[in-house]
Structure 1
Amino acid sequence: MSVLNEILGFFIKRRIERINEFMHHPHETQFGQYSSLIKKARKTEYGKRYGFSDFKNIQDFQREVPIVTYENLYPEIEKVLRGQQNVLWPTPIKLFSKSSGTTNDKSKYIPVSDEALESCHYKGGKDMITLYLNQNPESDLFDGKGLSIGGSLKENPYDSNSQVGDISALIMQNLPSWAEFLRTPPLEVALLDNWEEKMARMIEICPKENLTSILGVPTWTVVLLERIMEITGEDNLLEVWPDFELFVHGAVNFQPYREMFTKRFFPSDQVRYQEIYNASEGYFGVQDDLNRIGEMLLMLDYGVFYEFIPMEELDKDHPKTLTIEEVELDKNYAIIISTNSGLWRYKIGDTVKFTSKYPYRIKISGRTKHFINAFGEELIIENAETGITEACEATGLVIKDFTAGPCYMADKSKGGHEWILECSSIPSNPEPFIHKLDASLRSVNSDYDAKRQGDLALQMPKVHFVQEGTFYKWMERRGKLGGQNKVPRLSNNREFLDDLLEFTGLHS
């Protein structure tokens, strides 16, 4: 182990004491976050409007402050975008995380305070390393560099005194010098606006570095790694980076990509995989036990107060919300956050399940808007990704991307689901995969199974296999290249499905 590993490892691992504190005292930690947020924001426009100074308890807060979506909160965010301060948060807002999302082409501008950048996003990155080193004390992570695929940064079009960009770009732009020394590519490449130019420069630079880790969205990381393999002509990437040991992933479920990484890119037990839950709105979770695949420790002291809406309450005008001490295991909840950037009771659109308490661990189960329920089947992303993974394992196919939506029959009496799957090689006989996918979905979703009984309401899935690179080209045509943009997995209408079918020349 190098001297640098020993020094940085020593300081970073000292943070485990703080993490242990909130793991053992989660309810007190969250109450402290709530109290601090309310106290600090009580004299903001929003705080005065809803009487933050008068709240005696969390129940007052839940009764008086409405649950909001981005669209609901946008009038306040627009004021901040145009330079007005003390609207949602008392300290100056000079940064905005720009996110297009996956269901709306209109850009979202999420305010990012200095407090959020430091005590949420940067804290999350440090804790990610802390938790990794805590499990792998002999790691040589700092003997090489970490590759991170960033976004771009621009002047705020509404106020020249502030900047907007992908959250990754905001983080990179403000990294301390010691952290910048340990990463690649250089900042001028990482923040390039043109995605193809950025990829070309990274393909030129990265094979020459001693990479020990990568942080990125699997979808776009795969594109980069495949191109590097093409350029170098190596059989796998450990021949390019022999000291590589860690891939940190987030934003999309890793299971459909796992086999590609473990067998094609990094075929060795020396490489480990760690999941994080970070978004434009905040850094929420880190996988603290690498053996618990898909489960992440909910980070409770990042300036975020959490509430959870049971799914049966989601569509009500005034849904019941639960604090962390009220949740149950293995139930789906929509997440509501209040943050140190001024997002108050904000519905971020993700759904989670709790897998443990003390410590509180979660796994992402889907999106509140990403599901198929055209026939009462309530198919969520978690079901779809489980089905894809099990069908791949049974048939040996490697699926790189997919999307699905409802398929209505001409007589309206029976319907089904239509899938578009991108794979490395199109199967000559797709039937085994389709039947396994259907069987897996029936095993994990009782509503889907009931509708499939005797083809009562749902017929066998209709599946199209498309060539490798199809989704990339489709996203490029839509102007959605980059790590912040994700392929829409499920939709309750045919908007994305029909657009992709038209793009590929397939016919539904």
Structure 2
Amino acid sequence: MDFLTNFIYQFFRPRNKVIARYTFEAGDIQEQQLSRLLHQAQDTSWGKKYDYRHVKGYDDYKNRFPVQSYDQIKDDIQRMLRGESNVLWPGMTRWFAKSSGTTSDKSKFLPVTPEVLKQCHYQGGFDTVSLYLRNNPSSHFFRRKGLILGGSHSPSPVNSQIHCGDLSAVLLQNLNPLVNLIRVPKKEIILMDEWESKIKAIVESTWREDVNSISGVPSWMLVLIKAVLKKSGKDYLTEVWPNLEVFFHGGISFTPYKEEYKSLIPSDKMHYMETYNASEGFFGIQDDPADSSLLLMLDYGVFYEFIPMSELDSPNPAVVPLTGVEVGKNYAMVISTPGGLWRYLIGDTVRFTSVSPYKFVITGRTKHFINAFGEELMVNNADKALHEACVATGARVKEYTAAPLFLLDRAKGRHQWLIEFEKTPESLSQFARLLDEALQRANSDYEAKRYKEISLQPLEVIMAHEGCFYQWLSSKGKLGGQHKIPRLSNDRKILDELLAINNQMNK
């Protein structure tokens, strides 16, 4: 570690001791978060409605009102967008993160209060750097530049004093000016609206810089990396940025992109670190390079609850606090935050790999899975199997999505996969067979349905034309650093739209 990085790291080190408390004091820490949230919000409209002043512990809290979806709070959000104060959280909220969902033309607007910015998002960024430096004592992190690929923001459609935008843009706009000393590109470039113009501007302003860290969503960062390589005429990113040492990534699973990144950054000094930073808050950090699980961050002002996936569609689902979760089960995550979200169903699903400390993997979305034949296929199953098939065949995947195909005449079905390859396998049929076998190893329910083709026939892989997924995102107005392709769907709407574009490209 160079002198400057080591000097600055001394301000980060104390957090590592605090984070170590998670292992032994998780329950107490979470009780403190809930108590503080209720106290801060007791005089808001929501706090008065549900009498937060007299809530006595967790059981009392969860009996006050049911788990909330966005539909249950959107009227309150609209009041906040119009500038009304003390609705879900004290004071006026001036910033909102616009959701990046691709399954609907309508967007969600999630409050980003000063408290959630400081206690949650910025604390998460601080802790990410702290843990990275702890694990990599030879780092020169603060000696060079960090490139952050983010979105844009604009005035609220109902109040010019209130702003909405991608979370990354909201964070960059409110960032401590000192951080800009080591960040590229300039703020006016990173906040540009038009995606393709933004990429060109980022490339022009950064490809000659001494960049040693990059941050963003893996799929979109790959677009930028290839644009940098094209501009520089180089084959590998290490030729452009020889001191590159870490990619902080999140938003989607890194697994399908792992081999592509290794091919473009062939360096044993390169590190990859996952974070779980959503529009609603910052929740997890990969604290151990040898373990892909994320450490649940317990003292960011967020109180966590969990619904077993088997209970999710029940009229009165069982909900447990953090101390009630079990290793190996899939849960839908419920949060209460200093952003004014109360018992809010975030839409992500997780599986705990440890409870001492609490570590987890993101398994997908509550709406993004396939269970058409009782197979209960989650996104992490798909990502893992896809990675295995790629390693076995030398293929590399750029984008993919999958959905069920119902063969009603045979009372059976199969999964259809549309895959855009970065490197095509020599045999598509072999790739499909290996993918199918890997899915059976990853998911026992899928394996049971495939046994003697009881209800599931072998999956089908359709090769997408280059740019097919990009065109679909463009048609939805979803180009940009935080937008994602839905990986799995229980119906065919998304897949059929993509197949229509793919078929048109065939002509």
- What does residue 285 of structure 1 align with? 284
- What does residue 298 of structure 1 align with? 296
- What does residue 381 of structure 1 align with? 379
Once structures 1 and 2 are overlaid, which stretch shifts more, 439-448 or 34-43? 439-448
- What does residue 424 of structure 2 align with? 426
- What does residue 476 of structure 1 align with? 474
Q: CA offset at residue 144 of structure 1? A: 0.9
Give, as a single letter, the amino acid of the residue that structure 2 aligns with 1:312. S
Q: CA offset at residue 273 of structure 1? A: 0.4
Which 5+ residue runs of structure 1 have no aligned equivalent?
Answer: none
Give, as a single letter, the amino acid of the residue that structure 1 aligns with 2:168. S
SS in 2 for 1:440: helix
Please tell me whether the aligned partners of residues 424 and 467 of structure 1 are also in contact (alpha carbons under 8 angstroms).
no
Cα distance in 2 for residues equivalent to 1:22 and 1:429: 48
- What does residue 313 of structure 2 align with? 315
Give, as a single letter, the amino acid of the residue that structure 2 aligns with 1:396. G
| Alignment pair present for 1:463 and 2:438 | no
Please tell me whether the aligned partners of residues 2 and 139 of structure 2 are also in contact (alpha carbons under 8 angstroms).
no
| Alignment pair present for 1:259 and 2:259 | yes
Please tell me whether the aligned partners of residues 102 and 476 of structure 2 are also in contact (alpha carbons under 8 angstroms).
no
- What does residue 34 of structure 1 align with? 34
Cα distance in 2 for residues equivalent to 1:325 and 1:457: 38
User: Which residue of 340, 343, 350 maps to 1:342?
Assistant: 340
Cα distance in 1 for residues equivalent to 2:40 and 2:84: 18
User: Which residue of 349, 352, 356 maps to 1:358?
Assistant: 356
Q: CA offset at residue 119 of structure 1? A: 0.8
Please tell me whether the aligned partners of residues 9 and 133 of structure 1 are also in contact (alpha carbons under 8 angstroms).
yes
**Aligned runs of 1:102-501 on 2, under 5 Å?**
102-262=102-262, 264-293=263-292, 295-411=293-409, 413-501=411-499
SS in 2 for 1:439: helix
- Please list the CA deviations of residues 64-87 of structure 1 after superposition, one character each: whole Å capped at 9, or x if unmatched: 122011112111111111111111
Q: CA offset at residue 261 of structure 1? A: 0.9
Q: CA offset at residue 158 of structure 1? A: 1.1
Cα distance in 2 for residues equivalent to 1:103 and 1:478: 9
Please tell me whether the aligned partners of residues 142 and 212 of structure 1 are also in contact (alpha carbons under 8 angstroms).
no
- CA shift in 2, pair 1:314/1:410, >3 Å: closer
Q: So what's the TM-score if we normalise by structure 2?
A: 0.97
SS in 1 for 2:127: helix
Give, as a single letter, the amino acid of the residue that structure 1 aligns with 2:384. T
Please tell me whether the aligned partners of residues 352 and 364 of structure 1 are also in contact (alpha carbons under 8 angstroms).
yes
SS in 1 for 2:298: coil
Q: CA offset at residue 98 of structure 1? A: 0.6
Please tell me whether the aligned partners of residues 310 and 334 of structure 1 are also in contact (alpha carbons under 8 angstroms).
yes
Q: CA offset at residue 226 of structure 1? A: 1.1
Please tell me whether the aligned partners of residues 101 and 486 of structure 1 are also in contact (alpha carbons under 8 angstroms).
yes
- Please list the CA deviations of residues 352-407 of structure 1 after superposition, one character each: whole Å capped at 9, or x if unmatched: 11111221111101111001111111111111111111111111100111000011
Cα distance in 2 for residues equivalent to 1:484 and 1:104: 15
| Alignment pair present for 1:85 and 2:58 | no
Once structures 1 and 2 are overlaid, which stretch shifts more, 450-459 or 53-62? 450-459
SS in 2 for 1:102: coil
SS in 2 for 1:274: strand
Please tell me whether the aligned partners of residues 309 and 330 of structure 2 are also in contact (alpha carbons under 8 angstroms).
yes
- CA shift in 2, pair 1:100/1:216, >3 Å: closer
Give, as a single letter, the amino acid of the residue that structure 1 aligns with 2:191. L
SS in 2 for 1:379: coil
Q: CA offset at residue 18 of structure 1? A: 2.1
Q: CA offset at residue 13 of structure 1? A: 2.1
Please tell me whether the aligned partners of residues 215 and 247 of structure 2 are also in contact (alpha carbons under 8 angstroms).
yes
Give, as a single letter, the amino acid of the residue that structure 2 aligns with 1:397. A
- What does residue 6 of structure 1 align with? 6
- Please list the CA deviations of residues 102-142 of structure 1 after superposition, one character each: whole Å capped at 9, or x if unmatched: 32221110011101001100000000000001111221011
SS in 2 for 1:434: helix
Q: CA offset at residue 410 of structure 1? A: 4.9
- What does residue 69 of structure 1 align with? 69
Please tell me whether the aligned partners of residues 151 and 480 of structure 2 are also in contact (alpha carbons under 8 angstroms).
yes
Please tell me whether the aligned partners of residues 332 and 353 of structure 1 are also in contact (alpha carbons under 8 angstroms).
yes
Q: CA offset at residue 6 of structure 1? A: 2.4
Please tell me whether the aligned partners of residues 426 and 466 of structure 1 are also in contact (alpha carbons under 8 angstroms).
no
- Please list the CA deviations of residues 295-339 of structure 1 after superposition, one character each: whole Å capped at 9, or x if unmatched: 111000101000011111111122111111111111111100000
Q: CA offset at residue 228 of structure 1? A: 1.2
Please tell me whether the aligned partners of residues 67 and 345 of structure 1 are also in contact (alpha carbons under 8 angstroms).
yes
Percent identity among equivalent residues? 46
Q: CA offset at residue 57 of structure 1? A: 1.3
Q: CA offset at residue 428 of structure 1? A: 4.5
Please tell me whether the aligned partners of residues 40 and 90 of structure 2 are also in contact (alpha carbons under 8 angstroms).
yes
Cα distance in 2 for residues equivalent to 1:178 and 1:424: 38
Cα distance in 2 for residues equivalent to 1:243 and 1:99: 34
Please tell me whether the aligned partners of residues 116 and 281 of structure 2 are also in contact (alpha carbons under 8 angstroms).
yes
Please tell me whether the aligned partners of residues 422 and 467 of structure 1 are also in contact (alpha carbons under 8 angstroms).
yes
Please tell me whether the aligned partners of residues 425 and 467 of structure 1 are also in contact (alpha carbons under 8 angstroms).
no
SS in 2 for 1:424: strand
SS in 1 for 2:266: coil
Cα distance in 1 for residues equivalent to 2:155 and 2:200: 25
SS in 2 for 1:146: strand
Which 5+ residue runs of structure 2 have no aligned equivalent?
Answer: none
Cα distance in 2 for residues equivalent to 1:231 and 1:473: 23
| Alignment pair present for 1:98 and 2:98 | yes
CA RMSD of aligned residues (A): 1.4
Cα distance in 2 for residues equivalent to 1:436 and 1:205: 43
Cα distance in 2 for residues equivalent to 1:363 and 1:383: 11
How many residues in Structure 1 have an aligned counterpart in Structure 2? 505
Give, as a single letter, the amino acid of the residue that structure 2 aligns with 1:387. A
